[in-house]
A and B are shown apart, each in its own frame.
Chain A
Amino acid sequence: MTSPKILTGNFGKGAQELSVYKSLGGYANISSRLFDLSQFELIDLVQRSGLRGRGGAGFPTGLKWSFVPRNTPKPVYLVVNADEGEPGTFKDHFLMLEDPHRLLEGMLICGWALGVRTAYIYVRGEFLSAIESLNKAIAQAYAAGLLGANIGGSGYALDIYVHRGAGAYICGEETALINSLEGKKGQPRLKPPFPAVSGAWESPTCVNNVETIMALPWILANGPEAYAALGTAKSPGTKVFSVSGDVKRPGVYECALGTPLMEILESQEFCQGTEGELKGVIPGGSSTPVLTAEEARKANLDYEALAAMGTMLGSGAIIAFNNKRTVVSMLKSLTRFYAHESCGQCTPCREGTGYADRVLSAVTKGKGRDGDLELLLDLAANFTPTTICPLAAADAGPIESFLKKFRSDFEAEIARNPERAEERLNPNFRPGAFW
């Protein structure tokens, strides 16, 4: 099944240039097609399209927009989350690099729907080329009267700023992103209030992923029904996947949601097969629980099908690995990542991610002991419901799934330690005894 290339259609065509983008049909929406719609009609249209947030959680976009208050005395902000930091994910980088005007067009649509006058694109600091491409596109759009005051003669005004993040993973969490945008330390806020009510500078703020916003021009041009017809009933539309790992042709691929995972990995259109014998697949970015090769063969890429398998679609970062890879070191690099990226607010995450990483580090160094796996599982279980944001839970996902699905690999690693059965505790050493 070949689905239309809603988001990646302009790749390689030089659409960074405004004239090229326009000749490919771009900015056709910035006309009476958009400005004749009321806010309600536009939000309703997006709700009917069934578009869901592409940042990872899959929250219905139209519903999120409907939470933003109308007729508020405060300004409403749109913040595009381009702080793509999930290991394995690189789609937004390419989307911004190849087709920045589509993002601007999408932001104009979202901005009109929510009454936004000022919008920000919060870009991960390392994406220098993408930032360059965005800034160039923004300059061109201003020059062409597509941004600034009185856009397209409609009287609508929108200013877009590119804000460079400093490369913290946690700033992909929307409230941490807002803190960072405000110039504060990028740490998630307590919720409620949610950003839709009180976000940037305590004003209503809509935070959407790059890919979500970039789907809007197509939806407006082709109608919500056309978009909803793609993909599955509950996960309509197309999704851009970042495929990496042991595949013949890693890259950014767009296909309809509900496409079998193996089709992406093996079809000629996409990855053209795996390298070596497939051992497992991380389906949606490093935070999502891993699938074994067997599970991967049955998996379909949509929110519901993957949730039913105990994992998540996430940001669509597919990492395939073959049986030559050491899963213990793979998990170790993930736990190291989360320990390094924990923002340091909540105790379980701040202390626990490092704790788990050091336990696993001992295992990879041949110093694992009996009971370490149970300890890791218990730590992971203690992360889950107890923190402000899901970073610790994102660490728990891989720990639990790797240990469950590849347990023998870990046991083999621990078996390297001749002293593995030694009492892990000194029975005389009890902290309580002092107190």
Chain B
Amino acid sequence: MPKLPGPNSPRVVINVDGADVEVPSDTNLLEALRTVGIETPHFCYHRDLPLSGNCRQCLVETDGPRGMALTIACYTPIRAGMKVATPASSEKVKKARKAVMEFQLVNHPLDCPICDKAGECMLQENYMQAGQGESRIREDIGKKYHGAPEHRFEDAKHQDRGGKAVDLGPRVVLDEERCILCDRCSRFMHHVANDEQLIISYRGDHAYISTFPGKQLDHPYDLNVTDICPVGALTSKDFRFKHRVWNLKRTPSIDPTDSLGTNLWIEHDGGRVYRIMPRCNAEVNRSWIANSSRAAYAALGENRLLGGYAQGKAIKSTDAMRSILEILQAPGKIALVASGHLTLEDNTALLELKNALGDRATVYGGSWLPVAKPDSIALSGDPVANRAGVTLLGIADNLDQLISDIHNYATLLVVGNDLWGANPDKAKALLAIPNRIAFSAWNDATVKASTLALGINAWAEIRGAMINSQGRLQLLNASPTAPADDLEPAWKVLARLAGTDWETDIQAWAATRKRIPALGELRYSDIPSEGVVLKLDGGKV
């Protein structure tokens, strides 16, 4: 993997286009130039993949023993005092980059209007910067099989080749003529996924991306190859032909399905989430995201709990609230079940409700979902995303205790914790509690087992904080994608039940800070996009 500059990188002065600039010295020239605002076009270079140096697009001139010579910026180490020429000062570099761009396009089809990558295609971007030449390619000297059915062929492994849609596996489709053979996908599978499922077969311009004979591209991280593909060669079956990417808006958030809290972008348009893309965070998930985290978007539009439910029948949410309030005000002990799937603010609000109810209520926490091993890519294996945060709020992991205390309670209130979905065998004991109230974003098994239920906002629709398995405080952000206007975040519903005057998430956050000293005076705007690691030994951030 290339060495990336950090805040503690030693700095040296180099000469770029005649001007002295200070750059970090422990990285490659491409990254160093980036720190001084010079972007170098490239295809094969990726900061989280081993270097390949094959695309040759990042050519610059550097001084060497034989004078200024063309080198690739991604593979050039920094040397104090070195002279670098970019296209800004060197016609040679400009011409060389333009030539490489022409070569890239020799065998690349001009089907941007129907290409899913159009709008986020590195070939388009780099063309605008490095190319822009009159085409010298004429019809009879292009590659022969472009898209035409008669040019399809069966390769030595009896796979159907040469097509616009080569089926690589359950999730990924390859368009062979768009492929520029940058090698990113096979390097990802080899070095990151640690499962060499993709290879480049053959050589020269007749090379193509392939799987092994009889094998498919099928890996829990395989959709990452569609992200890192600089062109529209590898596309996701799920997203292709769904939406033009330039219409998508993106909201930064984190993965609510795993306690590593993989950083991601929620990409949405017109109130609907179309896909989830990885958001680079060198300390958490680098540029990678598991297929399971990516698939979480689909649930946002499916099986949502809108409004209230009583005994399985839809009712108005105001009526549901009134009924819930009545039950809580009636005598009898109440078991409140917190959730590590919800934010710190939501759980704080639950604790406020406990305070309001006094001795009648007891808070339980935890999850019955099984915990897997970390995969050292972008999953911790623990499906309870905010487990560390819930623990910091002082909520114990004592769901099993609830089972044994069951006869003490007249009312069970579960917030965003699908107990019946996680372990129906254990959960069925809870049916002994007469009043079962559930707040959930989905019409899940717990809602179905409840006597009263109310829909709340899902993770993509709220702002809030979670603490991941590294002790890192990270923010979820609200995308305008709620399926119904009257849905409210869990903290707001709970706070109203508790009788507080919270109107905004900032007030909920302020209450959270009071309960967790390590958060200090941190405001939402103080939390950087890569999150902040809390000092849990009593110190403040």
Query: Which A residues lie within 8 Å of B102 (CB)?
Result: 382
Query: Which A residues lie within 8 Å of B138 (CB)?
Result: 424-425
What CA separation (Å) do A190 and B50 show in the bound complex?
Answer: 12
Query: Which B residues lie within 8 Å of A273 (CB)?
Result: none
Task: Report yes or no: B204 in contact with A362, Cβ–Cβ below 8 A.
Answer: no
Min CB distance, B110 to chain A, in Å? 6
Residue of B nearest to A349 (CB): B204
Task: Report yes or no: B200 in contact with A434, Cβ–Cβ below 8 A.
Answer: no
**Residue B415 CB within 8 A of the other chain:** no
Task: Report yes or no: A343 in contact with B136, Cβ–Cβ below 8 A.
Answer: no
**Residue A329 CB within 8 A of the other chain:** no
Query: Which B residues lie within 8 Å of A359 (CB)?
Result: 141
**Residue B90 CB within 8 A of the other chain:** no
What CA separation (Å) do A359 and B136 show in the bound complex?
Answer: 11
- Residues 73-113 of chain B, each 1 if its beta carbon lies under 8 Å from chain A, else 0: 00100000000000000000001100110111111001011
Task: Report yes or no: A352 in contact with B141, Cβ–Cβ below 8 A.
Answer: no
- Chain A residues numbered 349-374 whose CB sits less than 8 Å from any CB in chain B: 350-355, 358-359, 361-362, 367
Query: Which A residues lie within 8 Å of B113 (CB)?
Result: 434
Query: Which B residues lie within 8 Å of A435 (CB)?
Result: 112, 124, 127-128
**Residue B277 CB within 8 A of the other chain:** no
**Residue B246 CB within 8 A of the other chain:** no
Task: Report yes or no: B56 in contact with A386, Cβ–Cβ below 8 A.
Answer: yes
Task: Report yes or no: A425 in contact with B106, Cβ–Cβ below 8 A.
Answer: no
What CA separation (Å) do A425 and B136 show in the bound complex?
Answer: 7
What CA separation (Å) do A345 and B105 show in the bound complex?
Answer: 15
Task: Report yes or no: B57 in contact with A431, Cβ–Cβ below 8 A.
Answer: no
Task: Report yes or no: A351 in contact with B106, Cβ–Cβ below 8 A.
Answer: yes
Task: Report yes or no: B136 in contact with A347, Cβ–Cβ below 8 A.
Answer: no
Task: Report yes or no: A432 in contact with B132, Cβ–Cβ below 8 A.
Answer: yes
Residue of A nearest to B111 (CB): A434
What CA separation (Å) do A265 and B136 show in the bound complex?
Answer: 42
**Residue A226 CB within 8 A of the other chain:** no
Query: Which A residues lie within 8 Å of B202 (CB)?
Result: 344
- Chain A residues numbered 409-435 whose CB sits less than 8 Å from any CB in chain B: 424-425, 429-432, 434-435
**Residue B181 CB within 8 A of the other chain:** yes
**Residue A348 CB within 8 A of the other chain:** yes
Q: Given the interface contacts A190-B75, A351-B107, A386-B70, does A429 sit within 8 Å of B135 by beta carbon?
A: yes
Which one of B100, B127, B140, B141 contacts A386 once the chains associate, using CB atoms below 8 Å? B100
Query: Which B residues lie within 8 Å of A348 (CB)?
Result: 56, 99-100, 103
The stretch among A82-90, A302-310, A334-342 that forms the contact with chain B is A334-342
- Residues 174-215 of chain B, each 1 if its beta carbon lies under 8 Å from chain A, else 0: 000000110100000000000000001011111100000000
What CA separation (Å) do A344 and B207 show in the bound complex?
Answer: 7
Q: Given the interface contacts A385-B70, A429-B135, does A344 sit within 8 Å of B53 by beta carbon?
A: no
Query: Which B residues lie within 8 Å of A355 (CB)?
Result: 103, 106, 137, 141
What CA separation (Å) do A340 and B203 show in the bound complex?
Answer: 8
Task: Report yes or no: B141 in contact with A358, Cβ–Cβ below 8 A.
Answer: yes
Residue of A nearest to B108 (CB): A351
What CA separation (Å) do A393 and B134 show in the bound complex?
Answer: 25
What CA separation (Å) do A387 and B102 show in the bound complex?
Answer: 15
Q: Given the interface contacts A341-B204, A344-B203, A430-B134, does A382 sit within 8 Å of B110 by beta carbon?
A: no
**Residue A346 CB within 8 A of the other chain:** yes
Query: Which A residues lie within 8 Å of B70 (CB)?
Result: 385-386
Task: Report yes or no: B55 in contact with A347, Cβ–Cβ below 8 A.
Answer: yes
What CA separation (Å) do A180 and B53 show in the bound complex?
Answer: 19
Task: Report yes or no: B54 in contact with A342, Cβ–Cβ below 8 A.
Answer: no
Task: Report yes or no: A388 in contact with B96, Cβ–Cβ below 8 A.
Answer: no
**Residue B363 CB within 8 A of the other chain:** no
Min CB distance, B35 to chain A, in Å? 23
Query: Which A residues lie within 8 Å of B143 (CB)?
Result: 354
Q: Given the interface contacts A425-B135, A435-B128, does A353 sit within 8 Å of B100 by beta carbon?
A: no
Residue of A nearest to B200 (CB): A344
Residue of B nearest to A359 (CB): B141
Residue of A nearest to B97 (CB): A386
Give the interface size bracket for B toward A: 35 or more
Task: Report yes or no: B59 in contact with A350, Cβ–Cβ below 8 A.
Answer: no
Task: Report yes or no: A339 in contact with B136, Cβ–Cβ below 8 A.
Answer: no
Min CB distance, A356 to chain B, in Å? 9
**Residue B51 CB within 8 A of the other chain:** yes
Task: Report yes or no: B99 in contact with A386, Cβ–Cβ below 8 A.
Answer: yes
Which one of A351, A385, A424 contacts B205 once the chains associate, using CB atoms below 8 Å? A351
Task: Report yes or no: A387 in contact with B56, Cβ–Cβ below 8 A.
Answer: yes
**Residue A24 CB within 8 A of the other chain:** no
Task: Report yes or no: B69 in contact with A342, Cβ–Cβ below 8 A.
Answer: no
Residue of B nearest to A374 (CB): B136
Residue of B nearest to A365 (CB): B140
What CA separation (Å) do A190 and B51 show in the bound complex?
Answer: 9
Q: Given the interface contacts A350-B207, A358-B141, A386-B59, does A431 sit within 8 Å of B104 by beta carbon?
A: no
What CA separation (Å) do A242 and B70 show in the bound complex?
Answer: 35
Task: Report yes or no: B53 in contact with A388, Cβ–Cβ below 8 A.
Answer: yes
Task: Report yes or no: B181 in contact with A385, Cβ–Cβ below 8 A.
Answer: no
Task: Report yes or no: A340 in contact with B204, Cβ–Cβ below 8 A.
Answer: yes
Query: Which A residues lie within 8 Å of B124 (CB)?
Result: 435
**Residue A375 CB within 8 A of the other chain:** yes
Query: Which A residues lie within 8 Å of B75 (CB)?
Result: 190
Q: Given the interface contacts A343-B203, A354-B204, A431-B110, does A385 sit within 8 Å of B69 by beta carbon?
A: yes
Task: Report yes or no: B141 in contact with A362, Cβ–Cβ below 8 A.
Answer: yes
Task: Report yes or no: B205 in contact with A354, Cβ–Cβ below 8 A.
Answer: yes
- Chain B residues numbered 455-498 whose CB sits less than 8 Å from any CB in chain A: none
- Residues 133-154 of chain B, each 1 if its beta carbon lies under 8 Å from chain A, else 0: 0111110111100000000000
Residue of A nearest to B110 (CB): A431
Min CB distance, A330 to chain B, in Å? 20
Which one of B69, B106, B110, B181 contacts A344 once the chains associate, using CB atoms below 8 Å? B181
Query: Which B residues lie within 8 Å of A431 (CB)?
Result: 105, 110, 127, 135
Min CB distance, A354 to chain B, in Å? 4
Task: Report yes or no: B112 in contact with A434, Cβ–Cβ below 8 A.
Answer: yes
Query: Which B residues lie within 8 Å of A352 (CB)?
Result: 103, 106
Task: Report yes or no: A347 in contact with B180, Cβ–Cβ below 8 A.
Answer: yes
Task: Report yes or no: A430 in contact with B135, Cβ–Cβ below 8 A.
Answer: yes
Task: Report yes or no: B134 in contact with A434, Cβ–Cβ below 8 A.
Answer: no
Task: Report yes or no: B205 in contact with A367, Cβ–Cβ below 8 A.
Answer: no
Counting chain B CB atoms within 10 Å of each CB, the highest count among A168, A187, A435 belongs to A435
What CA separation (Å) do A82 and B138 show in the bound complex?
Answer: 41
What CA separation (Å) do A185 and B207 show in the bound complex?
Answer: 12
- Chain A residues numbered 130-188 whose CB sits less than 8 Å from any CB in chain B: 168, 170, 185, 187
Counting chain A CB atoms within 10 Å of each CB, the highest count among B56, B106, B124, B205 belongs to B205
Min CB distance, B379 to chain A, in Å? 30
Query: Which A residues lie within 8 Å of B57 (CB)?
Result: 347
What CA separation (Å) do A353 and B206 show in the bound complex?
Answer: 11
Query: Which B residues lie within 8 Å of A434 (CB)?
Result: 110, 112-113
Query: Which A residues lie within 8 Å of B105 (CB)?
Result: 431
Which one of B56, B106, B134 contacts A346 once the chains associate, using CB atoms below 8 Å? B56
Task: Report yes or no: B135 in contact with A342, Cβ–Cβ below 8 A.
Answer: no
Query: Which B residues lie within 8 Å of A361 (CB)?
Result: 141
- Chain A residues numbered 45-98 whose CB sits less than 8 Å from any CB in chain B: none
Which one of A345, A429, A430 contacts B54 once the chains associate, using CB atoms below 8 Å? A345
- Give B residues with C-beta under 8 Å from A: 51-57, 59, 69-70, 75, 95-96, 99-100, 102-107, 110, 112-113, 124, 127-128, 132, 134-138, 140-143, 180-181, 183, 200, 202-207
Q: Which 7 A-B pairs have the closest CB atoms?
A: A382-B99, A342-B204, A358-B141, A344-B207, A344-B203, A351-B103, A354-B205
- Give A residues with C-beta under 8 Å from B: 168, 170, 185, 187, 190, 339-348, 350-355, 358-359, 361-362, 367, 375, 382, 385-388, 424-425, 429-432, 434-435
Q: Pull 11 A–B residue pairs with CB atoms less than 8 Å apart, ordered by A.
A: A187-B203, A340-B204, A341-B203, A344-B207, A347-B55, A351-B103, A354-B143, A388-B54, A431-B110, A431-B127, A435-B127
